[in-house]
Structure 1
Amino acid sequence: MPRLPKIVRNAAFRFALAHTIVFVISVAAVGLSAEALVTRALRLQAQQRVEEEIAELKGEFQQYGRDAFLELIRAQLAKGENRLQFLVVSADGKKLAGESILLRVVEKSSRFAAGEAREVALSRSDAMLVARQPLAEGMTLLVADDMRSIEDVEDVVSSAFYVVLAISALLGLLAGVILSTGLLRRVDRVTHAAEAIIAGDLTRRIEITEAGDEFDHLSSTLNTMLDRINGLMESLHQVSNDIAHDLRTPLARLRQNLEEARTRAETTVQYEAAVDKAIAEADGLLATFSALLRIAQIDAGTRRSAFTRVDLSECLQTVAEAYLPSIEDNGRSLSCSIEPDLLVEGDDQLLTQLFSNLLENAIGHTPSGTAIRLELCQHAAGAGIAAVIADDGPGIPADEAKKVFRRFYRLEKSRSTPGNGLGLSAVAAIVDLHKAKIVLADNRPGLRVKIIFPNKS
């Protein structure tokens, strides 16, 4: 199949052509309707004029009688001021007064109702509007109007219509080209930005004008999507690096324990001890990968489809009761201020994990004697629900507040404590899944973690 010419394959040309076709069809429909209305109005006007004239002449015949009426018809024709044509014929069809041309339509008009104007064709191109009226003594009066004047008007209107149609086609094509070029220019900006991103420039974004139209809305949405993709790519790069660095040590320890079991264990007890260490290291690695998989699943948003109405008050109360013995056994205290019946759209299991991770973080990174407090209340006059987990421990330095949500990131003072640095990463993923907002602040002293849930996620 031969390829179409380049100009035909151009989207701007096709859009302009489609615009022109629609525009011309619309103009044609309006023009034809106007022509039909004008023609109909002229025909009705001519018909009314003929019928009024024949009614008036009938009255004059009845008033003045036969001879005076014939003289009146002859006088009308002699003046030549009336565009109408008249004919009076006797009972035997002979002309008594009037236009001889009308003798051609006497027989055709015999079927017309008295006083009713009807169109009679004289030839393929000529027609007359004729009305007949029987008179006394078998005479018949004919009044006719030549249709050529109406046909002339129709011709003028038709000619004007074709001129307007041609001009409309040109203007429509020109307008289509201008409009399509402007629209496609903006599409090209999106295409060029996409091509630059494909080429590796992940910082490239689509230009947004000040028009505030659908293209700006689309560009803004695409830019937000690109920011999200760029963030995920950076997160993936960071996770790859973190896995390479942070899992290297436990893997090295695992290999060392296995090496010891193979070369240094001389008794069954030593062998079992070395294997137990290796199993513990392997369990730690498995736990780390399980945590990574959970975070990946949360980031994918697949669990959003299972969201239900969750009683956040009951969820937080359950977590507090579960961790209270552990908190008190380690010499810490827990106080709660939880408003009842605060509901959000979410995943009950993930929300439980969220608050569990935050409490475990507070327990694991604060000394004995630390006071931990849980709060849940309506936030900012009904603008959301605020959950707060606060402690009076050592807190987090301000310059590291944003880093703690990165995978495997651990503060220097926490590297000696158990953990894999994924607890707060899971918290951030769950918060993002629920379209909530998390804020770390100084509790003076200690750390204050505030999560603001929308009323409807």
Structure 2
Amino acid sequence: MRTTAFKLSAIYLIIFTIFAVFLIVYIAINTQILMTRQLNSAVELEVRGLVEQYRSGGLPHLVQVIEERSRRPGASLYLVTDFRGHFVAGNVSTLPKWVLDERGAIQQTVPYQRLGETTRKEYNAVVSVYEIFGGYRLLVGRDVGEREIFRKVVEQAFIVSAILMILLALLAWIFVSRKVLKRIDVIAEASHHIMEGQLDERLPVTQAGDEFDRLSESLNIMLSRIEGLMHGLKEVSDNIAHDLKTPLTRLRNRVELTLSSDDADSETYRAALEQTLEESESLIRTFDALLRIARVEAKSTQIEKVSLDIGAIAADMAELYEPVAEDEGAELTWDAGPGFEIEANRELVSQAVANLIDNALKYAVRHAVERRGLAVGDHDKLPDMARIHVSISRKGDIPKDRAVDNRPILLTVADNGPGIAKEDRVRVLQRFVRLDKSRNQPGSGLGLSLVNAVATLHDATIILGDNEPGLIFTIQFPPLDTREDDEMEQTQESE
């Protein structure tokens, strides 16, 4: 009885009962009024007809007509009395004495007994009294038994309807309670399994398309997201333990070694401090990257988006990294003109472009060096130079029926490095994922993870392709919403 199903069933029962009572009472009252009006109208019409009969043929003719009509079966009542109230003609034997003293239609029902009946049973009727010449009185009426029968029928219908509604409400409550509670019990059971650690458990969906299915589908999406976050947290914890334990151990060993050295001079201490500072800066950069990724993935309200030209940003980043590429013995080119407007955060998009260029430069140069078996610093001996190309373009053909080009914008960074295998292209966007399993190369495995977070924040799509050789990393940004501009242009053209 504490369940919502019971409470809803009780509320529905009360509402429908009130509605049914109102409907039945309304119909009964209005029907009673209508029948009473019809009876009164019929009595008045008959009185007028008999008065005309009296006027045309006198009292004998009137008595003859009433005697004839009294012998007919039906609900009509007739009575003619003399000036003393003695019976002259009709089918009424007894009446209250005060009735014949009235004139016109009597507003209340009158009890009477029919002439010739052996029983003393009384009936009720609506009557009208008319005085004729010489003190004679004419009474005409109609029995209201049919109206009383209708009233009893209405009362019985009311009782039967009330009983039927209660029974149907109980049946509905039982059916709804069992069905709803069964679904809720199944959801509760699945929730207990999830709380016990079975993160792959999902709420059942019956394909009925009802509110429980919609709720289960929404919760299942949320559970999948939570499961992914939990797995990601576990991987992050493992990778943090692996990536940060090593530099922290080196820091501790270096400090202990320097302090334990008996012949250490100021230069030794200075070198140890410089190396410690370098390791500390690397750790700080790693934690800064983690915090930035967390802030971007949480879609912080402090991240402001404005309309900006991503082509100009890509050109600025490429120009910034061009000297670095020359020092590394690589060729960095770009094709990024103006006119590529998106709504984004300038700092985050710049960071994402920088991470892509830096990542492509690092792996392309190393791949070129390792391919020839040279040392990393022997850039002038590289017969095959590492190449990185940054470009901004639009996806698809130019629309012919639109004044504004609203095609998606593609930011592409291509290199001729080792590339990424297809089975690793999804995993490489996660935190601390490094394809160099030995982890001898510098880096923390957070660069592409930050790029993925920035793309998600801006509703962009990441596409990884094969450059044969190398990798093509593409971010597909949605264009600015130009619907308002189009509507303004159409309005101006129509004007």
Q: Normalising by structure 2, report the TM-score.
A: 0.78
SS at 1:411's partner residue?
coil
Q: How many angstroms does 1:448 deviate by?
A: 1.3
Contact 1:371/1:391, CA 8 A, preserved across alignment: yes
Partner of 1:320: 315
SS at 1:450's partner residue?
strand
Q: Distance in 2 between matches of 1:342 and 1:442?
A: 27
Partner of 1:3: none
Partner of 1:5: none
Q: Distance in 1 between matches of 2:395 and 2:199?
A: 40
Partner of 2:387: 370
Q: Distance in 1 between matches of 2:254 and 2:142?
A: 120
Q: Which amino acid aligns with 2:313?
A: T
Q: Structure 1 residue aligned with 2:193, among 185, 196, 200?
A: 196
What is the aligned length? 440
Q: Which amino acid aligns with 1:321?
A: D
CA 154–309 in structure 1, closer or farther in 2 if over 3 Å, else same:
farther
Partner of 1:236: 233
Q: How many angstroms does 1:252 deviate by?
A: 1.3
Partner of 2:165: 168
SS at 1:75's partner residue?
helix
CA 104–419 in structure 1, closer or farther in 2 if over 3 Å, else same:
farther
CA 203–11 in structure 1, closer or farther in 2 if over 3 Å, else same:
same
CA 437–101 in structure 1, closer or farther in 2 if over 3 Å, else same:
farther
Q: Distance in 2 between matches of 1:324 and 1:383?
A: 26
Partner of 1:148: 145
Contact 1:135/1:141, CA 8 A, preserved across alignment: yes
SS at 2:205's partner residue?
coil
CA 456–62 in structure 1, closer or farther in 2 if over 3 Å, else same:
farther
Q: Which amino acid aligns with 1:370?
A: R
Contact 1:84/1:146, CA 8 A, preserved across alignment: yes
Does residue 391 of the first structure (1) align with residue 415 of the second (2)?
Answer: yes
Q: Distance in 1 between matches of 2:132 and 2:477?
A: 98
Q: Structure 1 residue aligned with 2:52, among 47, 59, 65?
A: 59
Unaligned runs of 5+ in 2: 113-121, 366-384, 400-405, 482-495
SS at 2:225's partner residue?
helix
After superposition, residues 243-262 of structure 1 pair within 5 angstroms as: 243-262=240-259
Partner of 1:288: 286
Q: Distance in 2 between matches of 1:215 and 1:427?
A: 37
Contact 2:342/2:478, CA 8 A, preserved across alignment: no
Contact 2:95/2:111, CA 8 A, preserved across alignment: no
Q: Distance in 2 between matches of 1:412 and 1:351?
A: 26
Contact 2:311/2:338, CA 8 A, preserved across alignment: no
Does residue 119 of the first structure (1) align with residue 108 of the second (2)?
Answer: yes
SS at 1:118's partner residue?
coil
Contact 1:50/1:117, CA 8 A, preserved across alignment: no
Give the share of equivalent positions with the same residue, in percent: 31
Partner of 2:77: 85
Partner of 2:350: 352
Q: How many angstroms does 1:279 deviate by?
A: 1.3
Q: Which amino acid aligns with 1:221?
A: S
RMSD: 3.2
Partner of 1:340: 339
After superposition, residues 1-80 of structure 1 pair within 5 angstroms as: 8-10=1-3, 12-77=5-70, 79-80=71-72
Q: Normalising by structure 1, report the TM-score.
A: 0.84
Q: Distance in 2 between matches of 1:141 and 1:343?
A: 100
After superposition, residues 265-280 of structure 1 pair within 5 angstroms as: 266-280=264-278
Q: How many angstroms does 1:155 deviate by?
A: 0.7
Does residue 179 of the first structure (1) align with residue 168 of the second (2)?
Answer: no
Q: Distance in 2 between matches of 1:455 and 1:61?
A: 100
Contact 1:23/1:172, CA 8 A, preserved across alignment: no
Partner of 1:401: 425
Partner of 2:382: none
Unaligned runs of 5+ in 1: 1-7
Q: How many angstroms does 1:121 deviate by?
A: 5.8
Q: Distance in 2 between matches of 1:383 and 1:333?
A: 27
CA 49–318 in structure 1, closer or farther in 2 if over 3 Å, else same:
same
Q: Distance in 1 between matches of 2:206 and 2:159?
A: 41
CA 45–360 in structure 1, closer or farther in 2 if over 3 Å, else same:
farther
Contact 1:118/1:131, CA 8 A, preserved across alignment: no
Q: Distance in 2 between matches of 1:69 and 1:246?
A: 124
Q: Which amino acid aligns with 1:290?
A: D
Contact 2:409/2:479, CA 8 A, preserved across alignment: yes
Contact 2:311/2:336, CA 8 A, preserved across alignment: no
Partner of 1:218: 215
Q: How many angstroms does 1:174 deviate by?
A: 0.8
Q: Distance in 1 between matches of 2:409 and 2:123?
A: 88
Contact 1:409/1:421, CA 8 A, preserved across alignment: yes
Q: Which amino acid aligns with 2:149?
A: D
CA 389–101 in structure 1, closer or farther in 2 if over 3 Å, else same:
farther
Greater mean deviation of Cα atoms: 63-72 or 250-259: 63-72
CA 379–129 in structure 1, closer or farther in 2 if over 3 Å, else same:
farther
Q: Distance in 1 between matches of 2:335 and 2:102?
A: 107
After superposition, residues 373-452 of structure 1 pair within 5 angstroms as: 373-378=390-395, 384-412=408-436, 415-452=439-476
CA deviations on 1:60-119 (whole Å, 9 max, x unpaired) are: 233333332233223322x14241223345677776544354554536854xxx5x6733
Q: Distance in 1 between matches of 2:231 and 2:126?
A: 88
Q: Distance in 1 between matches of 2:154 and 2:407?
A: 67
SS at 2:53's partner residue?
helix
CA 135–204 in structure 1, closer or farther in 2 if over 3 Å, else same:
same
